[in-house]
Amino acid sequence: MQVSLRIEMKYHGIEYDDEEKTSGILRVGMLRFIEILYVEFYFTPAFKPKESAKWPEKWIDGKFRGAADKIKDTFMKFDTISRYLSQSIEFAMRHKDSSEMHQYGHFLKSMTDIPIYLDSLLLYLRVQADCLANVIPNFYGEEGRCQSIARDSFRDQTKWFIKKKPEFDPAYTKILSENTEWFDMLAGKSRGQGLRDILVHYRGVYQLGWTSLSTGKTISFNASLKNESGYVEGSLIPTLAKIVAEYFEFLEKAYVHFRQLVLENVKGGSFGEIYKSSQFLKFTSGLRSTWIYPEIKVEANQANSADAKSRD
């Protein structure tokens, strides 16, 4: 199930170690940064805000702790479901024409499970956006708390930065203005138009099938989302990969921006080199969820490795 897109990113995506693509690293810099910040603040006494900053010792509050736990938990569920979906599609394609009852049973179970996994991926992607919105205000310390930044909804927070207070952080406002098409595809530019909303509120159902050659040989699996008005999305699997690729591009820019902002306002702590500290998961024997993540280009991959070694 090879769907992943190859794009130019450094800190978010799959980085393979071999040509067979059986081992490598999943980089999710923003999640690792949140995790490191959480660990450093709560368990490293030397990690304190700079005296000159308007960030009191409790600038990371209980809401940040809860949001940090939630976004990691949600991402891990998303990754797990991506693996399950890949496995179920493989089983369905392998056993769909089987004449043996127990093998055909694998086909029937897979066809029952696939819609559940598609539901879960759309929902967990949407939840991640709101989890991220919960974390963002804490990156601004006391100033962020005084501004009452919307934190319970990614949509409301985006409106806060773009429409209500674009001057508060012009750089992040620009990131939001130029890099949220993934959210529009998922949740709609207005309520009720996104894939997740159609699924939940507007009677969306899946149609599963195969693309075959004239010889009858099956070459690919296809899942469509439709309701009474017709097909809403005719090819959901590559669309999910596209949403994640654009989501990762957004995370890439937000990660670089907020990492620098925090580094300028704290002293102590060990954030690590930006490239090395973006490693979220290392795999050595294949990873079924790689289909949904963008692939870091080999050229960027090699440049990053050389750059990291030069700092050692």
Q: What is the pLDDT of residue 78?
A: 95
> Does residue 35 belong to any structural domain of this protein?
no
Q: What is the pLDDT of residue 247?
A: 96
The two tokens of residue 274 are 């930006």
> Does residue 293 belong to any structural domain of this protein?
no
> Does residue 108 belong to any structural domain of this protein?
yes
Give the strand pairing for 6-7 and 295-296: parallel
Q: How far is CA 124 from CA 8, 45, 88, 214, 238, in A?
A: 25, 34, 19, 38, 17
C-alpha span between 87 and 117 (Å, rounded): 11
Owning domain of residue 98:
46-269
> Does residue 117 belong to any structural domain of this protein?
yes
> Does residue 64 belong to any structural domain of this protein?
yes
Domain count, the chain: 1
Q: What is the pLDDT of residue 168?
A: 93
Give the strand pairing for 12-16 and 48-49: unpaired
For residue 77, how many other CB atoms are within 10 A of its CB? 16
The reported pTM is 0.85
> Does residue 307 belong to any structural domain of this protein?
no
> Does residue 301 belong to any structural domain of this protein?
no
Q: What is the pLDDT of residue 219?
A: 66
Report the chain (312 residues): mean pLDDT per 10 consecutive residues. 61 87 89 83 52 48 82 94 91 78 80 92 93 89 76 92 94 95 86 78 84 65 85 87 94 93 70 80 80 78 49 43
| Contact yes or no for 10/231 (Cβ under 8 A) | no
> Does residue 297 belong to any structural domain of this protein?
no
Q: What is the pLDDT of residue 311?
A: 43
